[in-house]
Amino acid sequence: MYANAINVKTLVIAAAVAVLLARGAAGIAYANGGDSEEQLTGPETQKAKSAAIEAVGGGTVTEVERDDGDGTGAFEVEVTRDDGSQLEVHLDGDYNVVGQVPDEDGTNDKDRSNDD
């Protein structure tokens, strides 16, 4: 009987630890991907990339997203210029530039992840 009590107690503790670990993992996943910005792919991405590169005079696109609402456009395109500086280009729904600002992540964003 004493052995059964230990096994039940061990099982309850193991289940509680599993629940805590699952909640922690879900919290981390939300924190990393719980952004209101939507990553884009496909034809609209190519149009946005082309418009942004043309607007800044060349460079490499590191990210294309739907505007998260704090900008003035429909798309946010992050461009790294040849000199290493980064710009965030805001485009409207017709791919016209409506604004450019230095990228918040800055040139020290080595992993190119979305840290916003």
Q: Which CATH architecture has domain 43-102?
A: 2-Layer Sandwich (3.30)
Q: Indicate the average pLDDT of the chain.
A: 75
Q: CB–CB of 87/104 below 8 Å? A: no
Task: Identify the pLDDT of residue 56.
Answer: 92
Mean pLDDT of 94-98: 91
Across 6-20, 52-66, 69-83, the highest mean pLDDT is recorded for: 52-66
- Tracing tokens 């230095």 back to the chain, one arrives at 102
Adjacency order of strands within the sheet including 75-80: 60-66, 75-80, 86-91, 97-102
Residues 73, 102: Cα–Cα separation, whole Å: 15
Residues 116, 25: Cα–Cα separation, whole Å: 20
Task: Identify the pLDDT of residue 18.
Answer: 74
Q: Where are the domains of the chain?
A: 1-34, 43-102
pLDDT per residue as tens digits for the range 10-36: 877 877 777 767 777 666 655 554 444
Phi, psi of 114 (to 5 degrees): -85, 100
Helix, strand, coil % in the chain, rounded to nearest 5: 40, 20, 40
Residues 59, 55: Cα–Cα separation, whole Å: 10
Confidence of residue 115 (pLDDT cuts 50, 70, 90): very low
Task: Identify the pLDDT of residue 23.
Answer: 75
Residues ≥6 apart with Cβ < 8 Å to 44 = 75
